[in-house]
Structure 1
Amino acid sequence: MTIALLPNRRHLLASALVSGAASFARSSCATARSILGLRLQPIPAGSFLMGSPETESGHRPDESPRTRVSLTRPFWLSQFEVTQGLWRTVMESTILYQAKLMLADDALYMLGGTERTIRDRLGFDKDIDPERAIGDIRDDLPMYWVNWVEAAEFCRRLNDHSAPPKGYVYRLPTEAEWEYACRAGTTGATYIGDLQILSERDAPALDAIAWYAGNSSVGFTGKGWPTDDWAGKQYPGGMAGPRAVGGKAPNRWGLYDMLGNVNEWCHDWYGALPGGSVSNPTGPASGNARVIRGGSWFNPAHSARAADRDWSKPGRRFWGLGFRVALAPRLDG
């Protein structure tokens, strides 16, 4: 549910947020937490401008209208994307099994302007060895081939494992929480500033913070996928794939790979940004696609921006789609 702020009450909320931020450092919410080896970074309450200006390089129409968002309670967000090792611990399953599920999935998804199965989009036969659909199996690599339902189930199991603080739950972050945490108090296209996109897969500033289609082949070793036919690539050719989490610089709140490596599921159904000012938005009440954020190792440069928005049916699994976990206020419904 999205709650509009009355104009004559906005200054009261702003004062409360300033006061809350001042006390955040003194509260238990300012301390990192850990569960099953998953480290969660503290994120203070605050407000930010969600979306991007039309003048931003890579801007897309659904990033407008820009919306003033206030998040009135602090939360935590996992420092890294969920890894294959943690997935195996919590779900008692492997990435190889998830690849089998993808190959068996006969559902049709809108991919590249055409409705087709994921395996058809990627050129896989239904009965191939699932080993051909994965890169390396390593505990420090991000988990992928995970759909939204499975990511939500992962979070549910964390709640079963360890009772969260009162009023909080382990869950997927809302889209607003995700963008707020990604920006970490900054206002540019990325958390290190604005982005100059020279071509579809060429934005040199991303080298410091993100694995994206332009650089994901640099220094890559092990099983991967060829990139020789990727046009406009910053570093032409080579094999590429997901990289060990934490390999690039974090943002100022200690979060790694918020941009690039693998895309991340969010809680919300996909819909238009509301505009104006809102408090603790959670997206539309219903829909047919869930929000995806962050870009990945095979996505173009415009995807590796704090405001970039993507979406997919909840059942979709993909080779660059994973998630991270929030410990955040319980949501209604």
Structure 2
Amino acid sequence: MSQIPKNAKPLGEYLLLKVVETSLVSTRYLAKKIKEVQLDGEIILEDKELWVEVLASEFANDAAYRRKFIVEAKDAKDNSTSGALPVLDVIMTSNKLAVIYPKIESEALSNTQLKVGLTLYEVQQIMQPVADALDHFHDRGIVHGLLTAKDIRIRKNGDGVLTRMGIHKQARWMFSSIQSEEGLAYRAPEQLGNKKIVGEEGDRYAFAMIVYELLSGNLPWDSKLKEEAVLPLKQQDRLLPLSTNVVRVDAELQACLMQYLRNSPNDRPKNCTIFMQVLNEAIVREEQTAEIPNVDPKVLERAQKKVSALDEKLAELERKISAKEGKLAEAKQQWKQSKERAERKYEEGLNSWNDRMAKGHELLQQMEQDYDSAWSKLAHWFSQSKKEEERLKLEAAKEEFQELRKEYEKTREKSEIKLKEVMEKADLALQAVQRKILNELRPMRLEQSSLEEQLMELGEVHPKLLGFRAKKTFSRADVIVGRSSIEMILLPRGTFIMGAKDADQHAEEEEYPAHKVVFKKPFWVSVVPVTQGFYRAVTGTNPSSFQGVHRPVETVSWYEAARFCNTLSLREGLTPAYEVDADEESEIRWNKKANGFRLLTEAEWEFAAKANRSFLYSGGEDVDLLGWYSDNSEDTTHQVGLKQPNVWGLFDMSGNVWEWCWDWKGRYSDRVAMAPAGPDEGLGRVFRGGSWNVDFSLLRISYRGFERPNNRMDNLGFRIARFPGRK
């Protein structure tokens, strides 16, 4: 039994062991619940450690606050969420108010974390749970009211957790009772003026101020200013932008963050989720624009050797796992066959008896009908002996049928018991095999998982080291066929607005309405359109009108592009994406579970071209820097990759050649679309991106063209894609 500190003091059912943290509003104690007080006065405590937040006496003695406190604490207790400490209990005495929370393994946001400036990823990990928790409580009318950096703790895994929810709702009277206001830096202007309004807008202001401090290591004003000089800066929207304190800052992130720090509550975004979405997009953009590391050749060589060694181990392990899984599948097949044989035997026996029963019943019915017929009744009137004879025959037939029925019931019951025994025996046999094989597979799969983790760690050395096995977005992989190759990049999952902007003066009706599209999984896409050299290496032909190994292939039909994808998939040992009818090539189905090469969908193409930007063209607004079109192409295609890429490193998305997409041409809907793949039929297949012989306005990302899939044009090629997955 642990020794109780001398200065420990009871509060209700709890014993306060020591002070953990103090603030002007409350004091946090480490505490335990009292389990028992023995006759000799010895106190027995429960093992579980708790935090008890004891509010300052000003609140406990305020009758209005006490009434609000009861409602607030109950609301917080009934609406707990993972991003905030849950309220376990409440203590109310004549002069004390306290909230009981679980003690979690965590630490407070340190001065070091607040002063050095964290990475976007570190801030995301800390603040995402806090944002979710604030939005959760705000949706239920619960406000924190006095949010500061001290109210956020960091779990062992790096996630942030919100504390002190459930004690500050609509606490206007707090500020009048506090002479020296704590956490002034994080307060919204409306919390510091004469009215002292406390609402969810103030929580979001404080949230943004904490994010600003975490990212920059500073607050958005000169540190030499006195507190009374800060309020006018807040009220006049004169806070220093994030770029003042951070050397490299994402423009969209800065704009969004400063919006939360506006003076007017009505000008601030309506939830914290909006900022977290922008932060997540900024993280993606940061990864996208990061340069490929210049790795020491010796380090890269060692890493490649480790990858090769791990590949060999994984291949051997996969063979063993496959053999075990084959045995398991064989056992399941035998189990299925045993059951089918038993059911068939049971049904055959039952059918035989059913035939006998049907014939017996039919014979009995015929005898009954004959006995009751008019002719029989007339004969019986003339001869009583004949009537008695036929009655006895009928009774004997009935008894015989009853005996047959009894025998049938016994036989059926025995057959059902036998069937059940056979089924149970088959189940037990399968379960025994499953236990044995699964016990053998378990350590193999653990080893497989460990080896794959080691591979993923090696992938950090260089983005191309793992090829298509990589899981980190913006990793790269080369597809090499003979002396030709094409580079692919792993794009992230995400959300974007598809379609033309209202301000686009060149937009056509079919580019509207703009609508949200969501991709729940990443996909690989080639950095450039398929070149003539790569097409010839795969197919042995080059149909292009403008010859050149490094120029994009063109004059290919949609069907030829699909066949190319399947041919490349088979060569690389992947499952072909397209299923083609042998008798009717025009009937092509997309197997979305396959990991083979394929064409981009129209939505994927636009997502890749936009690259989380809102430019008219892929990569910017200056079309001459980005693509080949009628004014600069000199009436020919050009080598791929000569113009500027977009931020994701994709070349020639605007201009040079149009690119076939999977979709049939169809109309847009204004509803949210989950990875759309177009209608089931249409007048033609979509192509995108513009080409060497069209006006600059057709190079816009949102422009949609279409053509019959069997047609070929000297300005129409394609780009390849595939879903992640090694095999």
TM-score, length-normalised on structure 1?
Answer: 0.69
Counterpart position of 1:170: 597
Q: Structure 1 residue 214 and structure 2 residue 641: aligned?
A: no
Aligned to 1:181: 608
The aligned residue for residue 293 of structure 1 is 688
Partner residue of 1:147? 557
Distance 1:49 1:20, change over 3 A: closer
1:28 maps to a residue whose letter is K
Deviates more, 1:55-64 or 1:257-266: 55-64
Identity over aligned pairs, percent: 34
Superposed CA offset, 1:40-81 (max 9, x none): 112111010000123203211110011100111101110111
Equivalent position to 1:263, from 647, 658, 662? 658
**Shift of residue 183 of structure 1?**
0.5
Aligned partner (choices 309, 318, 322) of residue 717 of structure 2:
322
Q: Deviations over 1:116-167 (max 9, x none)?
A: xxxxxxxxxxxxxxxxxx23x2210110000000001111111101134985
Secondary structure of the 1:169 match is coil
Q: Give, as a single letter, the amino acid of the residue that structure 1 aligns with 2:625.
A: A
Counterparts of 1:57-206 in structure 2, within 5 Å, are: 57-95=505-543, 134-135=545-546, 137-164=547-574, 167-194=594-621, 205-206=622-623
How far apart are the structure 1 equivalents of 2:562 and 2:476?
22
Aligned-partner SS, 1:28: coil
Contact 1:169 1:329 in 2 (8 A): no
Q: 2:542 & 2:595 partners in 1: Cα distance?
A: 28
User: For the Cα contact (< 8 Å) 1:29–1:75, is it kept in 2?
Assistant: no
Which structure shows the bigger proportion of residues in helix conformation?
A: 2
**1 or 2 for the larger relative contact order (CA 8 Å, sep ≥6)?**
1
Correspondence for 1:33: 477
In the alignment, which of 665, 671, 681 is matched to residue 276 of structure 1? 671
Deviation at 1:17, TM superposition (A): 11
Q: Distance in 2 between matches of 1:28 and 1:21?
A: 19
Question: How many equivalent residue pairs?
Answer: 249
By how many angstroms is 1:188 displaced?
2.3
Contact 2:619–2:645 (8 Å) recurs in 1: no
Corresponding residue SS for 2:623 = helix
Please tell me whether the aligned partners of residues 524 and 724 of structure 2 are also in contact (alpha carbons under 8 angstroms).
no
Corresponding residue SS for 2:569: helix
Q: 1:68 to 1:329 in 2, by over 3 A?
A: farther
Report if aligned partners of 1:262, 1:295 keep a CA contact under 8 Å in 2: yes
Unaligned runs of 5+ in 1: 1-10, 97-133, 195-204, 218-239
Residue 517 of structure 2 aligns to a residue whose secondary structure is: strand
The question of whether the paired residues in 2 share the 8 Å contact of 1:262 and 1:294 is answered with: yes
Root-mean-square deviation (CA), in Å?
2.8
Specify whether residues 187 and 53 from structure 1 end up closer, same or farther in structure 2 by C-alpha distance, changes over 3 A only.
Answer: same
Question: Helix, strand or coil: the match of 1:151?
Answer: helix
SS, match of residue 159 in structure 1: helix
The aligned counterpart of 1:311 is: 706
Q: How much has 1:21 moved relative to structure 2?
A: 9.6
- 1:307 is paired with a residue whose SS is coil
CA distance in 1, matches of 2:281, 2:566: 29
Q: 1:193/1:175 Cα in 2 relative to 1: closer, same or farther (>3 Å)?
A: same
Is the Cα contact below 8 Å between 1:40 and 1:79 reproduced in 2?
yes
CA distance in 1, matches of 2:501, 2:613: 14
Task: Note the C-alpha offset of 1:16.
Answer: 10
Report the Cα distance in structure 2 between the residues aligned to 1:58 and 1:254, rounded to whole angstroms: 26
Which position in structure 1 is the counterpart of 2:419?
none
Of 500, 503, 513, the residue aligned with 1:52 is 500
Compute the displacement of 1:191 (Å): 3.3
Change (3 A) 1:18 1:326: farther
Using the TM superposition, give the Cα deviation of residue 275 of structure 1 relative to its aligned residue in structure 2, in angstroms.
1.6
TM-score by length of 2: 0.32
Give the counterpart letter for 2:643 in structure 1.
K
State the SS of the aligned residue for 1:179. helix
Structure-2 separation of matches of 1:191 and 1:264: 14
Structure 2 stretches lacking a partner, 5+ long: 1-270, 288-455, 457-469, 576-592
- Quick one: distance in 1 between partners of 2:571 and 2:280? 34
1:179–1:246 distance in 2 versus 1, CA, 3 Å: same
Q: In structure 2, what is the Cα distance between the partners aligned to 1:90 and 1:286?
A: 29
CA contact (8 A) 1:167 1:329 kept: no
Change (3 A) 1:22 1:167: farther
AA aligned opposite 1:214: D
Do the aligned partners of residues 269 and 141 (structure 1) sit closer, same or farther apart at CA in structure 2, a change above 3 Å counting? same
Are the structure 2 counterparts of residues 45 and 17 from structure 1 closer, same or farther at C-alpha, using a change threshold of 3 Å?
Answer: farther
CA distance in 2, matches of 1:17, 1:74: 19
More deviation, 51-60/321-330: 321-330
What SS class does the counterpart of residue 596 from structure 2 fall into?
strand
The answer to whether residue 695 in structure 2 is matched with residue 247 in structure 1 is: no
